[in-house]
Amino acid sequence: MPKVQLPLIPIRDLVIFPNAVVPISIKRSRSVQALEDALVKEKKVVLVTQKKENVDSPFPEDLYSVGTIASVTQVHRLPDDVITVLVSGEKRVQIIKYAKLEPFFKVEVEEISETYISDPETDSLLHTVVEQFKQCVALGKAVSVETAPAIFDLSDPVRTIDLITFNLDLKTSEKQQLLEALDFRSRLEKISEFLAREISILQAARQIQEKTSEEIGKMAKEAFLREQLKTIEKELGIKEEREEFADLEKQIKAAKMPKDAEERAFKELGRLKKMPPFSPEISYIRTYLDWLVSLPWSKKSESEINIKAAEKTLNEDHYGLNKIKERILEYLAVQKLAGKGRGQIICFAGPPGVGKTSLGKSIAKALGRNFVRMSLGGVRDEAEIRGHRRTYVGALPGRIIQGIKNAGTKNPVFMLDEIDKVGTDFRGDPSSALLEALDPEQNNAFSDHYLEVPFDLSDVMFITTANMLDTIPPALLDRMEVISFPGYTEEEKLHIANDYLLPKQIEAHGLKKSQLKVPEETLKALISRYTREAGVRNLEREIATICRKVAKEIAEDGMKSTKVETTDLKKYLGPTRFESWAIEKKDEVGVAAGLAWTESGGEVLSVEATLMPGKGNLILTGHLGDVMKESATAALSYARSKVSDWKVPEDFYSNKDIHVHVPSGAIPKDGPSAGITMATALISAITKAPVRRELGMTGEITLRGKVLEIGGVKEKVLAAHRAGLTTLLLPKRNEKDLEEIPAKTRKDIKFYFVETMDEVLNHALTHSPTSN
């Protein structure tokens, strides 16, 4: 090739290879002038790289001596006198000499001829280089879309090699070396070396990128999911639920549970947090935790037993009951001296309305403790006392723990009503669970099936109540200190009505004391004609009715005040309900008054007997219990054995049936104490000797006509007094019980203590059966 002279443009940091199409920016004035020169001629320039890129006005010695001839294909003149030129490399040239230095370099160059000589080694090297380059591209090396096909088109190996070289990520000086390297083999070797380096760099970069993108991916995923969760939670209001966890945690800490209970609570809370929001178990765990945190594990009323103050409170709230109050104070004194964990369980036994509950409340008030009440009526299942295991759907703690929760403190006065109504059946014996809860010696770690952690009940003061003692499970009765409430006399009721019930009801109905006056006479009539009970519950109810009606009159009719006279009772309460047993009734044949003891105190029962044609059968009616039926049979046997003494045909029973009936079907009747009453009614019916109307009796009968001791004397005598009986026959052995009867009542009644049926008949019948 002939030597040509061409304008030279120095390039700071690029090596232009043949076949490369590259945009370059030209700003230096020498370069601009060189370009201008080229543009007006054959548009060719020599591009030579500077040895040091930061030299602004390079001299020939600052430039490499091998460069590239390129043709200028496009020219863009930008503001700031910058010209962007697209140059297309054509041939390698060796600068022979600088023909001109001013105003721009013009050089004489000689083309370096390159011929690729194919031999297996060079070919395989070329192949390796191309593969390496492919790998680079695969690893993410950026190659312009236009050059890629040309690189991989191996029809012109020189072009391929130049393009690869141009696209290598090399320092300028390294590229220049490759531009100058004339031997293909050694050039390919160098390229391969550089490519290997680039591959490892790219691989490392990719690894780093993968790792980071994995990391980033993970983070992005999490962030994304979190965002989604937030939206879902917002939609469903679960957010608040999560906030509640924090709340629960606070509550657990605030409940100050014993260590094992607290650990348990936190464990359950942990489970709760992990549950998916819609798990059905969530509500069970929540309920459980709610129970745990709401129990008064360490909340106590400040309570000190002050016997004097307690006595004052009990007296203020209750009339009479002196013996009972004394026993309560004794009990409290023992508690005070011996400390907790001592003593018996108290049981208040007596008919309804005698003040058992209100006395319990008074005790709580006197001790400055909370009061709770829980009925045990109808409890047949151990689980009702001790709770159901949590595996049951709808499981709850038992009544003891429920009561403690209601109390809100761990040392309340806890009244368990109707302990005599606790039953036993196949579901387990509630009485043993009750004993475990009540017994001060073993209740410091009461285990409720639902709670699963023990609760200390030793600070609780338990008071049980019962109407009768017979049905209390013996194991329980054995551990209880029974305090009996026998019922009130009319006199006592009058005091209670006057001093307690009336003022209480006047206040409860929003009245003033001055607005309602009920004289004693009226109260007496109210007690005897409108109520017949051992306690004062109905009496209180009737007084409340009067107060209500008077309040209405005052509010509606503008009345200032009222005085309720005996005659007004009909207006307020309707016709009288009870009449004295003996009033306006004459002595009758075959009817005797017996005294019974029931849950509601004493009762007067009339026993009727009659003879009718038949075959000697004994018919018993009136819901009699087995024991009572047996005593009727015994009474009849006795009567038959005595028939010869009386003016009665000896075979009277062979053509007669005997019917014994005890009216008032609703009252459960059992027990042996009606024995002498049934015998009296029978013998009266057989002998036609009438029974004294004003006389009542109670006592068990033997076949030989002996009268045996019975129980519940006080209740029975009070009931007889209420009913207006004036003479009573009691077994001789019960004479000692008369002490318990208020003197006033004793004075009103004539007592006869009997040992035999003959004595009974002597007193009861108006005339002797033998003297008809």
Chain residues binding ligand ADP by CB under 6 A are 318-321, 352-358, 496, 500, 535-537, 540
Give the residue with the Cβ less far from ligand ADP, 321 or 332: 321
Strands (E), 342-421: 345-349, 371-375, 413-417
Nearest to 576 by CA among 541, 526, 519: 526
Q: Is 300 a catalytic residue?
A: no
CB neighbour list of residue 625: distance below 8 Å, 6 or more residues apart: 668, 669, 670, 671
Q: Which residue has the tokens 């083309």?
A: 111
Q: Which two tokens stand for residue 232?
A: 């879902």
Report the residue number whose CB is nearest to ligand ADP. 355
Task: Please state the closest distance from residue 486 (CB atom) to ligand ADP, in A.
Answer: 12
The active-site residue, picked from 716, 736, 744, 771, is 716
Nearer to ligand ADP, 533 or 608 (CB): 533
637 labelled catalytic? no
Crossing angle between the packed helical segments 184-236 and 157-167, to the nearest 10 degrees: 50
The first and second tokens of residue 5, run together, are 């002279």
Q: How far apart are the first and last CA of the chain?
A: 178
The nearer residue to ligand ADP, 11 or 359, going by C-beta atoms, is 359
Q: Which is nearer to ligand ADP, 366 or 536 (CB)?
A: 536
Give me the residues paired with residue 188 across strands: none
Comparing CA positions, the residue from 77, 65, 53, 175 lying closest to residue 112 is: 65
Which of these is catalytic: 175, 673, 684, 714? Answer: 673
3-class SS of residue 461? strand
- Give the CA dihedral 564, 566, 567, 568, nearest 10 degrees: 30
Place of tokens 């003033």: 512
Q: Which residue, 352 or 731, has its beta carbon nearer to ligand ADP? A: 352
Q: In angstroms, how far is CA 682 from the centroid of its own chain?
A: 63
The span from the CA of 104 to the CA of 35, in Å, is 9
- Residues β-bridged to residue 483: 348
Q: How far is the CB of 367 from ligand ADP (least distance, A)?
A: 17
Our CB check for ligand ADP shows the closer of 540 and 542 to be 540
**Complex with ligand ADP: residue 58 or 487, whichever CB lies closer:** 487
Return the bridge partners of 106, or none: 7, 100
Residue 318 Cβ vs ligand ADP, minimum distance, rounded to whole Å: 4
Helix (H) or strand (E) segment spanning residue 491: helix 490-496
- Of 186, 126, 131, the C-alpha closest to 158 is 126
Nearer to ligand ADP, 476 or 496 (CB): 496
Cβ neighbours of residue 274 under 8 Å, at least 6 residues apart?
none
Residue labelled with tokens 């001791």: 709
Minimum Å gap between C-beta 529 and ligand ADP is: 19
C-beta closer to ligand ADP: residue 357 or 768: 357
In angstroms, give the least distance from the CB of 342 to ligand ADP: 26
- Closest distance to ligand ADP from the beta carbon of 231 (Å): 59
Pair 21, 87: CB distance under 8 Å: yes
588 forms bridges with which residues in the sheet?
Answer: 691
The DSSP element (H or E) to which 754 belongs, if any, is strand 750-754
By beta-carbon proximity to ligand ADP, the closer residue of 109 and 536 is 536
* 354 contacts 538 by C-beta, under 8 angstroms: no
The amino acid that residue 214 corresponds to is: E
**251-257: long-range pairs with CB below 8 Å, 24+:** 251/293, 252/289, 252/292, 252/293, 254/293, 255/292, 255/293, 255/294, 255/295, 255/297, 255/298, 256/297, 256/298, 257/292, 257/295, 257/297, 257/298, 257/453
Q: What CA–CA distances, in Å, run from 259 to 266, 293, 458? A: 11, 13, 18
**Cβ atoms < 10 Å from Cβ of 124:** 11
**Residue 291 vs 500, nearer CB to ligand ADP:** 500
Min dist CB 577 to ligand ADP, Å, is 19
Q: Which of 55, 54, 38 has the alpha carbon at shortest distance from 4? A: 38
To the nearest whole angstrom, how small is the minimum distance from the Cβ of residue 528 to ligand ADP? 18
Minimum CB distance to ligand ADP smaller for 374 or for 496:
496
- Residue 394's φ and ψ, nearest 5 degrees, are 70, 20
Residues 379, 471: Cα–Cα separation, whole Å: 13
CB atoms within 10 A of CB 251: 17
Active-site annotation, residues = 673, 716
